[in-house]
């Protein structure tokens, strides 16, 4: 027994391993293969994409079904990327939000907070608990192929203020926010979906540009943070941030004293997939402080990840302790947001006049700034 009162049976190790996985689905309905996988893995959460969406009622029913497949006392956290702009998994009749660059251009923090709250209402109406937003990256590289107008802007202090306001708006409505991609994906010229980006900056420059929005997110009480599959050689010359104790543990956990849930970015992205063995990725990320791993599409990878996370606990007491800590943070997040949430909005809130007018206002004012 590692800790008084905490058992270390195979069943407990499997339970902890499953809780650390957020899995995607192939289509708009749960397949029999996916049902069997869910029954075996018992994931801590699910993530839906455009391929899972037909119309709002179907998304809501899918989220309800996913919750029904797991024990009510440990409900899954159902997640989505609903940022606005080009990253919006559920579109019409949901409100088509402008990119967050337009929100940042308006330079009105009350308006930013309203946008965060409105997006949260629509996300929760669809049955989601967590939105992987806001982007806390600073758009400091005009050659960046993946961030661009997803960021609130190119000036770190302004981005930090908008991140703070957006998180308050979202979480006040009962939706868990996620600040991404720590410690920053804004100064890259490579898309981590396709290759491993490298940011050649000295630590003082990183402190001045990349980190303030994440500090602001933590001050705002953000429920979760997502790591970047990005290499920062002056911080860790060997490992991308997701796998780096020098970045995740030393900065996010220790320096910033962040105690919430940390997600990896998708483990299927080519910045890490095939570049490092999956066991090494999960082992190093776990010890760095990452709690939950996204496996967004491939069921074989979900099962591989699950089995590795079980094995790591069996082989290494540090890994088991890390798993225990991660599940504790997951449960604290559930306690905070799922135990006594505000009522879920009706589907009629999607694309409602209030939200449509807000989106038009932001587009008109933000596009002209």
Instruction: Residue 299: name the closest of 28, 32, 15 by CA.
Output: 32
Lowest mean pLDDT among 43-47, 48-52, 76-80, 364-368: 364-368
The answer to whether residue 193 is catalytic is yes
Using a pLDDT cut of 70, give the percent of the chain over it: 94
Residue 4: pLDDT over 50: no
Q: Identify the pLDDT of residue 77.
A: 98
d(CA 222, CA 192): 24
Q: Identify the pLDDT of residue 187.
A: 79
pLDDT 10s digits, 159-186 = 999 999 999 999 999 999 999 999 998 8
> Would you call 226 helix, strand, or coil by DSSP?
strand
The answer to whether residue 187 is catalytic is no
Going by the DSSP 8-state scheme, the letter that residue 308 receives in this structure is H
d(CA 42, CA 154): 41
> Would you call 368 helix, strand, or coil by DSSP?
helix
Residue 140: pLDDT over 70: yes
147 neighbors 137 (Cβ within 8 angstroms): yes
Instruction: Residue 85: name the closest of 126, 55, 115 by CA.
Output: 115
Selecting among 131, 236, 265, 291, the annotated active-site residue is 265
Q: Could you give phi then psi for residue 275, rounded to 5 degrees?
A: -85, -35
The residue with tokens 């088991």 is 320
Complete domains list, the chain, with CATH: 10-368 (3.20.20.300)
Selecting among 193, 205, 321, 325, the annotated active-site residue is 193
CB-based burial label for 325 (10 Å; 0-12, 13-18, 19+): middle
pLDDT 10s digits, 275-323 = 788 999 999 999 999 999 999 999 999 999 999 999 999 999 999 999 9
């Amino acid at each position: 027994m590692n800790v008084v009162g905490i058992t270390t049976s195979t069943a407990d190790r499997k339970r902890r391993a499953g809780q650390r996985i957020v899995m995607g689905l192939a289509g708009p309905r749960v397949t029999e293969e996916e049902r069997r996988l869910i029954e075996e893995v018992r994931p801590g959460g699910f993530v839906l994409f455009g391929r899972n969406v037909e119309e709002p009622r179907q998304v809501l029913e899918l989220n309800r079904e996913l919750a029904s497949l797991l024990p009510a006392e440990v409900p899954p956290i159902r997640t989505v990327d609903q940022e606005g702009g080009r990253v919006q998994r559920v579109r019409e009749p949901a409100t088509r939000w402008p990119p967050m660059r337009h929100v940042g251009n308006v330079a009105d923090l009350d308006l930013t907070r309203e946008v965060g709250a409105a997006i949260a209402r629509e996300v929760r109406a669809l049955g989601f608990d967590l939105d992987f937003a806001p982007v806390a990256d600073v758009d400091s590289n005009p050659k960046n192929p993946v961030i661009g107008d997803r960021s609130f802007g190119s000036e770190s202090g302004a981005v930090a203020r908008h991140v703070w306001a957006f998180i308050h708006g979202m979480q006040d409505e009962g939706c868990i926010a996620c600040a991404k991609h720590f410690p920053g994906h804004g100064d890259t010229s490579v898309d981590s979906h396709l290759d491993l980006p490298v940011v050649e900056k000295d630590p003082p420059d990183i402190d001045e540009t990349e980190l303030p929005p994440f500090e602001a997110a933590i001050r705002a009480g953000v429920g979760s943070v997502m790591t970047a599959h990005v290499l920062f050689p002056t911080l860790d010359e060997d490992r991308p941030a997701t796998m780096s104790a020098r970045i995740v543990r030393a900065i996010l956990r220790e320096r910033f004293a962040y105690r919430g849930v940390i997600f990896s970015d998708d483990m299927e992205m080519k910045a890490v997939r095939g570049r490092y063995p999956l066991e090494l990725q999960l082992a190093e990320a776990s010890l760095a402080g990452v709690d939950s791993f996204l496996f967004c599409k491939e069921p074989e990878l979900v099962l591989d990840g699950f089995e590795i996370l079980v094995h790591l606990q069996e082989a290494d007491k540090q890994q088991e302790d890390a798993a225990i800590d991660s599940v504790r943070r997951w449960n604290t997040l559930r306690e905070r947001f799922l135990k006594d949430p505000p009522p879920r909005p009706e589907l009629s809130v999607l694309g409602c006049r209030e939200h449509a007018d807000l989106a038009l206002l932001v587009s008109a004012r933000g596009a002209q700034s």
